[in-house]
Structure 1
Amino acid sequence: MKRPTIADIAREAGVSKVAVSYALNDQPGVSEQTRAKIKAIAQEVGWRPSSAARALNGARARAVGLAVCRPPRTLSVEPFFMELISGIESELAPRSIALMLQTVSSHADEIELYRVWWGEGRVDGALLVDLHVSDARVPALAALDLPVVALGPPQSAGALPTVWSDDATSMRETVAYLAALGHRALARVAGLPKLAHTAVRDAAFEAACRAAGLPDPVVTHTDYSGEDGARATRRLLIAEQRPTAIIYDNDVMAVAGLSVAQELAIDVPHELSLVAWDDSPFTQAVRPQLTALTRDIAAYGACAARTLLAAVDKGAVTSSQVPAAQLVPRASTSPPRRG
């Protein structure tokens, strides 16, 4: 079935296409009776204005864009993104605003995608995720005059409003907890080093270890996947000087790390303590249950969506700090076994 057009409505109503245009755009030039008849026919046939027509008329698209520069499989295995999207949708859906979601392979592709979406009137604004330490998307999107809200550290967002949490405070709390348990050899299986939040966590981890009087920690960067997390854990655990505690940058890698420890017959938590960043059902489905840094990711997404909608409405918009992740001790951490 072809998409209904203004010509179809005009033919059904027995009026000109100009009259239909006036009626559907609430412009003068037709009687109220004719306007009501045309709108009823439009609703009956399922007519919707095209994005190009909306752009020409300056009308709202009633959609916001979210491009993710990661492999599509990331969205199927990374609980963070699904929780984030659920929070975004909790603000958009009640307002009948759509979320345009697309994965891209590079920042250049992402910038071009936003140019197309904005130029064709397909979105009213955009959410920018996975900020880089030096991020070419920030000045490019600012130059488009597209309403944008970034999720991540403000220092990497330029003039864009951001929604962010204090990862440094969460990292200091975790290191202090492990040091209080008696751990001296700490390691971290981190995410991509070019990501701004990874850099914040890297710096905070090393500074917290120094403040606690611990030896220089080991940091291994990965792509966040379970496979890469398992490889990194295996390298740490077969090393001559293996850590007694490992902090993971996401829950997927922490679960994979637990499997590697069990594969090598290393007792968790007595020989090795494990901590996952971002709590999820994964961390509580395994045995032992994983100590985790928990935060309300859905609320994080909802805050970002509200901030973006305010920007779209030309309201006063400022950056928002959401609560930092809180440490929840479970069975995967304990004092290290002596001897």
Structure 2
Amino acid sequence: MKDIAQRAGVSESAASFALNGRPGVSEVTRDRVRRVAEQLGWRPSAAARALSGEGAATVGLVLARPAETLGVDSFFLQLVSGIQEVLARRHLGLLLQVVEDIEAECAVYRRWWAEHRVDGVLVADPRTDDPRPVLLDELGLPGVVIGALSDSDSRTHRRLSQVRVEDTQAMAAVIGRLHALGHRRIAHVAGLPTLAHTARRMDSLRAEAERQGLTAAQSVVTDYSDTEGASVTRRVLQEPDPPTAIIYDNDVMAAAGLGAALGLGRDVPGDVSIVSWEDSAVCRLVQPWLTALSRDAVAFGRIAAEELIVLLDGGGARMVSLPLPRLIERGSTASALSGILPEEPSAN
């Protein structure tokens, strides 16, 4: 700072004001100081900013999921890519930590707050009974929930925004399309039952099945792994009245389910249609290609990071809804009667 001030011909306090965006210096002086700083290769010290109360220039993300399931989950890789893209533009760092459970995640937030490690957090996987919103309120730590909180925790949190995905409508659209193809026995291989979006999908399945008069619709919860995806598939397909269509909560389970069905001698889509909730390259590396709900996970990450920056800049908390995912029909779904795809598959 002293070197910059001397070369720019200003006091050290004026140089500090100029570089930190504070009032008290003219725009001409601010521009001159910044040009000198750039020439000298100056960058702000995150540690010094934290000690002076100016912030850590870092955003936190804690994932409370088994590490082995995260390693094959393309959604989170794309999500983080979108987050990092936005943070890089603001020269903000991303502090990522993987923990075993929600209690450990809350402990991380308390430690980060006490140590001034982060300016705000991105909160993944909202729970049906989620302690994190209240904790973040108590700490005064700004955050953005990636996916909406459960209806029981829908109250407004002063410094907690939400980026909402319409899981309920998406499930209703999938059930409606399968019903139109003649499917009356539908299974849903769901994810972790404690997650708010899993609960919304299961509730939507039940509601839509009742509305359509489907008496043989069921959800089976899993840990999102390929192992459980395959195991549940074998179990439901060996029931006396097996489903003619199966919806999987991610691409990995859907691919594993396809392999399990083929291993039992079932034809896909002749005997059973398969739908993946997530679209990825995995859905196009198997035969037949998997019908999938397509949503832009990178854009999801960008929007979440942008909303957090709004909070860090002093803006208010708000709810942002993402577009409804599109159903991309491929070779794994067909009419329950003929096993033949319609000539013009839907993309709604």
The Cα shift of 1:157 comes to 5.4
Question: Which residue of 2 is the match for residue 77 of structure 1?
Answer: 72
Distance (whole Å) between structure 2 residues aligned to residue 166 and residue 50 of structure 1: 38
Distance (whole Å) between structure 1 residues aligned to residue 43 and residue 304 of structure 2: 32
The 3-state SS of whatever aligns with 2:61 is: strand
The 3-state SS of whatever aligns with 1:80 is: helix
1:146-295 equivalence runs, <5 A: 146-154=141-149, 155=151, 156=153, 158=155, 159=157, 160-295=160-295
The 3-state SS of whatever aligns with 1:229 is: helix
Question: Which residue of 2 is the match for residue 61 of structure 1?
Answer: 56
Distance (whole Å) between structure 1 residues aligned to residue 259 and residue 154 of structure 2: 37
Distance (whole Å) between structure 2 residues aligned to residue 312 and residue 47 of structure 1: 20
Distance (whole Å) between structure 2 residues aligned to residue 249 and residue 286 of structure 1: 17
Per-residue Cα deviation, 1:202-226 (whole angstroms, up to 9, x for no partner):
0101111111111141211000011
Distance (whole Å) between structure 2 residues aligned to residue 117 and residue 324 of structure 1: 35
Using structure 1 for the length normalisation, give the TM-score.
0.85
Is contact 1:68-1:129 (8 Å) kept?
yes
Distance (whole Å) between structure 2 residues aligned to residue 229 and residue 24 of structure 1: 59
The Cα shift of 1:60 comes to 2.3
The Cα shift of 1:73 comes to 2.6
Is contact 2:60-2:95 (8 Å) kept?
yes
AA paired with 2:45? Answer: P
Distance (whole Å) between structure 1 residues aligned to residue 311 and residue 98 of structure 2: 24
Question: Which residue of 1 is the match for residue 45 of structure 2?
Answer: 49
The 3-state SS of whatever aligns with 1:303 is: helix
Distance (whole Å) between structure 2 residues aligned to residue 113 and residue 316 of structure 1: 25
Name whichever of 274-283 and 156-165 sits farther off.
156-165
Question: Which residue of 2 is the match for residue 99 of structure 1?
Answer: 94
Pair 1:127–1:309, CA change in 2 (3 A) = same
The Cα shift of 1:25 comes to 4.8
Pair 1:23–1:76, CA change in 2 (3 A) = farther
Do structure 1's residue 118 and structure 2's residue 118 form an aligned pair? no
Distance (whole Å) between structure 1 residues aligned to residue 134 and residue 256 of structure 2: 37
AA paired with 2:191? Answer: G
Distance (whole Å) between structure 1 residues aligned to residue 286 and residue 338 of structure 2: 26
Question: Which residue of 2 is the match for residue 87 of structure 1?
Answer: 82
Q: Which runs of 4+ in 1 moved over 6 A?
A: 21-24
Do structure 1's residue 299 and structure 2's residue 299 form an aligned pair? yes
The 3-state SS of whatever aligns with 1:135 is: coil
Distance (whole Å) between structure 2 residues aligned to residue 104 and residue 70 of structure 1: 7
How many residues get paired?
315
RMSD: 2.7
The Cα shift of 1:338 comes to 6.8
Per-residue Cα deviation, 1:37-86 (whole angstroms, up to 9, x for no partner):
xx98xx67x987363x4323012211100000012233320011011111
Percent identical: 42
The 3-state SS of whatever aligns with 2:71 is: helix
Question: Which residue of 1 is the match for residue 314 of structure 2?
Answer: 314
The Cα shift of 1:237 comes to 1.2
Using structure 2 for the length normalisation, give the TM-score.
0.83
Is contact 2:184-2:214 (8 Å) kept?
yes
The Cα shift of 1:277 comes to 0.1
AA paired with 2:142? Answer: P
Distance (whole Å) between structure 2 residues aligned to residue 338 and residue 25 of structure 1: 74
The Cα shift of 1:230 comes to 0.8
AA paired with 1:142? Answer: D
Distance (whole Å) between structure 1 residues aligned to residue 52 and residue 333 of structure 2: 60
Distance (whole Å) between structure 2 residues aligned to residue 77 and residue 117 of structure 1: 28
Do structure 1's residue 128 and structure 2's residue 127 form an aligned pair? no
Distance (whole Å) between structure 1 residues aligned to residue 129 and residue 216 of structure 2: 27
**Which structure 1 segments of 5+ residues have no match?**
1-8, 13-20
Distance (whole Å) between structure 1 residues aligned to residue 184 and residue 174 of structure 2: 13
AA paired with 1:108? Answer: E
